[in-house]
Amino acid sequence: MVAKKYQNPSGGLNEAGRKFYKRTTGANLKRPSKKVGNKRRASFCARMRGMKRKLTSAKTARNPNSRINKALRAWNC
């Protein structure tokens, strides 16, 4: 779990969160892409829809303020 100070209120990580993640793991996370036709966006949307369906409760799936729904909105899914 990432600290609240690294979370973007509208979903995902903010710039400081991406830098923190890179420092701790070495991975280079990119910003969400809203561009239609972007393969990274299509892949993310497909993965997250599957996670939403299988790994969240019905209450969380319907909650517009859940982290997974905010992330899907940030990616324009």
**Tens digits of residue pLDDT in 55-71:** 888 898 899 988 889 98
Question: 38: which 2 tokens?
Answer: 């972007």
Residue 75 burial class via C-beta count within 10 angstroms: exposed 0-12, middle 13-18, buried 19 and up: buried
Q: What is the pLDDT of residues 36-55, one digit of tens each?
A: 889 999 999 999 988 888 88
Cα 67 to Cα 60: distance, rounded to the nearest angstrom: 9
Q: What is the pLDDT of residues 13-31, one digit of tens each?
A: 889 999 999 999 999 988 8
**Can you give 7-39 as a three-state secondary structure string?**
ECCCCCECHHHHHHHHHHHCCCCCCCCCCCCCH
Single pTM value for the model: 0.73
Residue scoring higher pLDDT (20 or 12): 20
Going 58 to 61 to 64 to 66, the CA torsion angle's sign is positive
pLDDT at 32: 87
Tell me: pLDDT of 73 over 70: yes
pLDDT at 1: 59
